[in-house]
């Protein structure tokens, strides 16, 4: 089944990895005709991404107890390669790493050499890397 997206809709959409794979049935073509074997984990992650936020696959229904209005919320795929969910995955990973780091004061200082002195360093790549051993 080819998932063709009409031209008038494509003009309003930004180009994403998901869109590239959906257009012209590119994913199925790649999966079936690749000169490299597509691993099961790759198929799983890509197909999760292609079905991200698809209410036909999985969704939750919320209903207002006052007025009875229903709202359908499709589920995200939580795939690492998804352009929507991948950022969330990276943010959670960064926060986890940040929470495991030591709480220390950090100062970053970059010292540069004046352009007038570069003649002394030219041709000697080891000279600028000399550690003078000053501590702060």
Q: Please give the residue range of the domain that contains residue 114.
A: 7-129
CA–CA distance, 47 with 22 (Å, rounded to integer)? 11
- 136 occurs within a structural domain: no
Of 51-55, 61-65, 73-77, 81-85, the least confident: 81-85
Confidence band for 1, pLDDT divided at 50, 70 and 90: very low
What share of the chain in percent tops pLDDT 90?
21
CA–CA distance, 115 with 105 (Å, rounded to integer)? 32
- 46 occurs within a structural domain: yes
Confidence band for 61, pLDDT divided at 50, 70 and 90: very high
The first and second tokens of residue 116, run together, are: 């007038």
- 30 occurs within a structural domain: yes
- 1 occurs within a structural domain: no
- 93 occurs within a structural domain: yes
CB 49 within 8 A of CB 55: no
- 135 occurs within a structural domain: no
Tell me how far the alpha carbon of residue 45 is from its chain's centroid: 13
Tokens 């002394």 -> residue: 120
The residue among 112, 74, 83, 67 whose CA lies nearest residue 18 is 83
- 2 occurs within a structural domain: no
CA–CA distance, 56 with 72 (Å, rounded to integer)? 11
What pLDDT does residue 13 have? 62
Q: What is the pLDDT of residues 15-41, one digit of tens each?
A: 888 888 989 999 999 999 888 889 999
What pLDDT does residue 15 have? 80
Q: Where are the alpha helices (DSSP H) in the chain?
A: 7-10, 17-22, 26-33, 40-50, 85-100, 118-121
The residue among 21, 26, 23, 1 whose CA lies nearest residue 10 is 23
Structural domain total, the chain: 1
63 has a pLDDT exceeding 90: yes
* pTM for the whole structure: 0.51
CA–CA distance, 27 with 44 (Å, rounded to integer)? 12
Q: What is the pLDDT of residues 75-134, one digit of tens each?
A: 888 887 887 787 777 888 888 888 887 777 777 788 777 888 878 777 777 766 665 555
- 27 occurs within a structural domain: yes
Q: What is the rounded average pLDDT of the residues 49-53?
A: 89
């Amino acid at each position: 089944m080819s998932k063709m997206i009409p031209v008038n809709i494509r003009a309003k959409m930004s180009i994403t990895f998901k869109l590239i794979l959906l257009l012209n049935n590119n994913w199925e073509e790649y999966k079936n005709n690749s000169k490299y074997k597509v691993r099961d984990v790759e198929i799983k992650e890509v197909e999760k991404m292609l079905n991200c936020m698809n209410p036909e696959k999985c969704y939750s229904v919320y209903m207002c107890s006052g007025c009875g209005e229903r709202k359908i919320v499709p589920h995200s795929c939580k795939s690492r390669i998804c352009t929507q969910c991948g950022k969330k995955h990276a943010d959670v990973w960064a926060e986890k790493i940040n929470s495991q780091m030591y709480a220390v004061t950090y100062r970053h200082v970059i010292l540069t050499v004046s352009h007038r002195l570069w003649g002394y360093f030219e041709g000697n790549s080891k000279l600028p890397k000399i550690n003078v051993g000053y501590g702060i």
